[in-house]
Amino acid sequence: TQEHVASNQVNDRWREFMRFQIRRTRRLYADAWPGIAMLDAGGQLAVAAAASLYQGILDDIEAHDYDVFNRRARVGDWKKLQRLARVYLQLNMDKNRRV
């Protein structure tokens, strides 16, 4: 309920809710990934990088026991660079497969 969310408490109900939402979000990202290849080449990297960084935020939420009330979920600079490199390579491998 809204009252549970407003209470800012991480409890079993909150964790269950967040696990559900994160699973759902990850499925949406997976379903959307093939559509990135349909974008103009100039926009593919930006959209794929954003998707990867947002998935990194989900990883951070999970790593901190779904506590989004007492700390901001984030992706550190080093992990951002790693994710960007991975996305760049993945996009280029996908392009090479289509040729």
98 has pLDDT over 60: no
Which pLDDT belongs to residue 95? 67
Cα gap 98→47, rounded to integer Å = 19
- Is the separation of the CB atoms in 77 and 62 below 8 Å? no
User: Crossing angle of helices 41-63/12-36, nearest 10°?
Assistant: 160
List the structure tokens of 35: 């559509």
Which pLDDT belongs to residue 20? 98
Which pLDDT belongs to residue 41? 85
Pure H helices in the chain: 2-6, 12-36, 41-63, 77-98
What does pLDDT average to over the chain? Answer: 92
Which pLDDT belongs to residue 78? 97
Q: What is the pLDDT of residues 31-60, one digit of tens each?
A: 999 999 899 988 999 999 999 999 999 999
Neighbours of 42 (CB within 10 A): 7
Eight-state DSSP code of residue 89: H
Which pLDDT belongs to residue 4? 77
pTM metric for this prediction? 0.85
